[in-house]
Chain A
Amino acid sequence: MNLENVEKQFNQCNKCGLCLATCPVCKELLLEKYTPRGKILLARYYCRGGLDLSARCRDIFAECLLCGACSATCPSGVDLTGVFVAMREELAANKGLHPKLKSAVESLIKNHNISDEDNAERGEWRDDIRNMPDHMYERDRAEVVYFVGCVASFFPMVQEIPRNLVQILDSAGEDFTILAGEEWCCGFPLIGAGAPDRMKELIDHNLEKVKALGAAKIVFSCPSCLRTWKEYYNTDLELFHSTEFIQNLIDKGNISLRNLSVKVTYHDPCDLGRNGRVYEAPRQILKSIPGLTLVELEKNRAQSVCCGGGGNLEMADPELSKKVAQRKIEEIRDTGAEIVVTSCQQCVRTIKGMVRRKKVAIDVIDITGLVKRAIAHG
């Protein structure tokens, strides 16, 4: 969004303040400057020459999960997160990158992943797969590409997501491949860091590699990679979230699920639910598992509250991120469910991290893990 469009957005804001009700950040940081309304007004002051950009201002705009709860609440339809992203870009261009994101951005540009590791190691999550096929899920040509994403590739806590998904796809007889070391970061963290101008190389590379495989479809287990592809990649390929893809496989009868007598609740990831409008596929999958009981969270679907893992906040202000996660755990606990299912590796990481920290007796699992269990069970 350029500044002209930003202006259109804040002109639409009538300062009613209803966005304060759903913003997880302003439940913790009470001052008006941290509220969505406050940030919109700061953008307006800046654009009209009434406020200079500063490191202080950059810190304020960093205190946001980019979860989109404010935009969904706004009665006037203001695209608040669009303005926040544009302001982060403006701040990065004028005042430099946020100090806590600087090294991550630089390492991402250099290594093509967010983990500061050699990108050739991107496929190491496969090492623990039993009965691994010879091709190790890397083929020269395939109809479907599974774009694994940086977090699920490199963070041990969530590497079971790709491990489970490739086995699910395999068991359903899908013709698919991964890109392994040729998969580069989709560029999503750069958007939140205010550096979307540095995405081009990543986009060009990923598009070229996928094209070379002759693929028609890409499946993502990461909702934010999917969103980035949809919004920043100019492609005709069909893009699916893993939940949509798995639901199709279930509908076609390519996957059969057996009984799991468990009581679960489902957390809608922001980029899949509210920002991607995929609410039903994961619920359909859960309903396809015999014996499973789904209890909804108090705030679900478009009202879902961020887990605390969005907007690069985990890097910019880890303490605030944890406070948001803490509230999420309380909401989950109130359902009485024994398992919280979600469909995003970042949500799994954030929620699981807090569950462990607080020693809460609840299992945190990505939906692929539950599907894998239901396939294997019995």
Chain B
Amino acid sequence: MISTSIKQELRSIVGEEWFLETPEDLATYSYDAFLQEYTPDGVVIPETADQISRVMQIANRERINIIPRGAGTNICGSSVARKGGIIMAFHRMNRILEIDPESMCAVVQPGVVNADLQKEVEKYRLMYPPDPASMFVCTLGGNVALNAGGPRGVKYGVTRDYLLGLDVVLPNGVIIRTGGKTLKNVSGYDLTRLICGSEGTLGIITEITVRLVPLPSAKATLQAVFSDVDDAAKTVSSIIASGIVPATLELIDRVVLNVIRDYGGAEFSPEAEALLLIEVDGQSSALEAQGKSIEKFCKERGAIQVDRATSAEEAEKLWQARRTAFGAVASLRPNCIVEDATVPVKRLPEMIRKIVELADKYALKIGVLAHAGDGNLHPLIMTDLQDKKEIGRVDKALDDMYEAAISMGGTLSGEHGIGIAKDRFISKEFSPSAIEIMRGIKRVFDPNNILNPGSFL
């Protein structure tokens, strides 16, 4: 509980109407896109780094937990008040401060929506590559905190690869700057990239400098259907081995294809075991040849059907199955748990087989979407949280799934984060010494453990 006098102090910093505590406000900041919800003790909405600094000084003095929250679209529960405290939201810090086409970078506040930045930089024929599925809603502060990825990751990488500098308010209120506008920077420890992916446990991000790349002038889109997952996986390897790096390389397994078909999302051959959606981007002159090569690889490796789009409308049609997938799956059962265990690319078919086996073993319905080009799987567990018995089996399946992913040299999470969703599994991936180093880093930044406590560490 927060005392009236402290609430008054917070109000005097951010403005009367920007500290919220009505039941409606507390209810609507109790969640993100993960399952578990925790009602916070308040919501504070600052406008400047200076205000954040002053809020943090009070929080640190009074040992009040602060949980930063962007748009609340993360699916690992990294922006909920698990141990109570105040949610800090960034609705008022939503300005693009600068687009610098000459230095190929942009400076933004944390509350800027990813797609809004994309749209602005496109006016300069530039691109900000990270494109999480929630890009029309999620904010860049959240993207940095979670090191968000997206379908374009196979060619372009993830948020961390585009991060040049940050302004960060530490839990004690001190403001630090890391990195800058230079593309190269090897001075000291790389605090910029340390804070990226720290899930709001080290500091509050108040300004972000990102690198931009030239906007590709064209793209080619193909879809291939396979009657064997291995054939699809071999196709993925052969495309990459040939030197072509697709911007997108998505795989949909049989379970999800059937759900999409039943949902009326698209039609596929009844023999379809896997579908690949492949997109290459770049100069239009090169794309024609690349498209043809990919078509050839698919056919040579047993694709039963290959479609190559010849227009933007046709490309959109090919994307339809992938775009419908999540909605179709989500509407089947009351809840859908989106996992993101990730393995080295060549182990992908093995991991998919493991998931099929686990679904069978624990009598669960699990489909697989995968960013196949980077081995990032999204097993979709269709379930019902109210069914305690089934949830017990889901937990066991998850346990086995992570065990398998780690044993293949993979990771618990490719792009969604650990948060409160996977904290209990973290010792599977890290040795006690590695975890102790992380805890040590946390102590240096946040000795009183007031920033997003209860999330992953």
- A-to-B contact residues, CB < 8 Å: 11-12, 14-18, 20-22, 30-33, 35, 38, 41-42, 45, 50-52, 56-57, 60, 74-77
Q: Which of B137, B327, B330, B334 contacts A17 (CB 8 A)?
A: B137
Distance, CA A115 to CA B139, complexed state (A): 44
Residue ID in chain B nearest A38 by CB atoms: B28
Q: Are B28 and A32 in contact (CB under 8 A)?
A: yes
Q: Which of A17, A50, A76 contacts B71 (CB 8 A)?
A: A17
Q: Are B330 and A33 in contact (CB under 8 A)?
A: no
Cβ of B22 < 8 Å from any Cβ of A?
yes
Q: Are B72 and A17 in contact (CB under 8 A)?
A: yes
Q: Are A60 and B330 in contact (CB under 8 A)?
A: no
Q: Which of B24, B92, B115, B331 contacts A60 (CB 8 A)?
A: B24
Q: Are B29 and A32 in contact (CB under 8 A)?
A: yes
Contact flag A17-B33 (CB < 8 Å), given A11-B334, A77-B331: yes
Residue ID in chain A nearest B135 by CB atoms: A21
Question: Measured between C-beta atoms, what is the minimum distance from B278 to chain A in Å?
Answer: 23
Distance, CA A106 to CA B141, complexed state (A): 48
Q: Which of B31, B326, B334 contacts A75 (CB 8 A)?
A: B326
Contact flag A12-B27 (CB < 8 Å), given A20-B71, A75-B326: no
Q: Are A31 and B336 in contact (CB under 8 A)?
A: no
- Cβ-closest 8 pairs across A and B: A75-B327, A21-B136, A30-B91, A32-B28, A38-B28, A76-B330, A33-B28, A17-B73
Specify which chain A residues have a CB less than 8 angstroms from the CB of B75 in the assembled complex: 16
Question: Measured between C-beta atoms, what is the minimum distance from B418 to chain A in Å?
Answer: 19
Question: Measured between C-beta atoms, what is the minimum distance from A70 to chain B in Å?
Answer: 12
Name 16 A/B residue pairs within 8 A (Cβ), A-sorted.
A11-B334, A15-B32, A16-B73, A17-B72, A17-B134, A18-B137, A20-B71, A21-B115, A31-B20, A31-B28, A32-B72, A32-B89, A51-B27, A52-B23, A57-B24, A76-B327
Distance, CA A350 to CA B25, complexed state (A): 31
Residue ID in chain B nearest A32 by CB atoms: B28
Specify which chain B residues have a CB less than 8 angstroms from the CB of A76 in the assembled complex: 327, 330-331
Distance, CA A14 to CA B31, complexed state (A): 11
Distance, CA A46 to CA B124, complexed state (A): 48
Contact flag A12-B28 (CB < 8 Å), given A20-B137, A31-B20, A56-B22: no
Specify which chain A residues have a CB less than 8 angstroms from the CB of B33 in the assembled complex: 14-17
Question: Measured between C-beta atoms, what is the minimum distance from A348 to chain B in Å?
Answer: 29
Q: Are B134 and A16 in contact (CB under 8 A)?
A: yes
Specify which chain B residues have a CB less than 8 angstroms from the CB of A60 in the assembled complex: 24
Specify which chain B residues have a CB less than 8 angstroms from the CB of A17 in the assembled complex: 33, 71-73, 134, 137-138
Q: Are A14 and B24 in contact (CB under 8 A)?
A: no
Q: Are A56 and B334 in contact (CB under 8 A)?
A: no
Specify which chain A residues have a CB less than 8 angstroms from the CB of B23 in the assembled complex: 51-52
Question: Measured between C-beta atoms, what is the minimum distance from B316 to chain A in Å?
Answer: 13
Question: Measured between C-beta atoms, what is the minimum distance from B396 to chain A in Å?
Answer: 22
Specify which chain B residues have a CB less than 8 angstroms from the CB of A41 in the assembled complex: 27-28, 30-31
Specify which chain B residues have a CB less than 8 angstroms from the CB of A30 in the assembled complex: 91-92, 94
Within 8 A of A (CB), among B400-451: none
Question: Measured between C-beta atoms, what is the minimum distance from A254 to chain B in Å?
Answer: 34
Distance, CA A38 to CA B134, complexed state (A): 17
Q: Are A42 and B137 in contact (CB under 8 A)?
A: no
Distance, CA A299 to CA B92, complexed state (A): 26
Q: Knowing that A15-B31, A56-B24, A74-B327 are A-B contacts, what are 17 other residue pairs whose CB atoms are under 8 Å apart, sorted by A's residue number?
A: A11-B334, A12-B330, A16-B134, A17-B137, A17-B138, A21-B136, A30-B91, A31-B28, A32-B28, A32-B29, A32-B72, A35-B28, A42-B27, A50-B27, A51-B27, A76-B327, A76-B330
Contact flag A42-B24 (CB < 8 Å), given A11-B334, A12-B334, A20-B137: yes
Cβ of B335 < 8 Å from any Cβ of A?
yes
Question: Measured between C-beta atoms, what is the minimum distance from B371 to chain A in Å?
Answer: 18
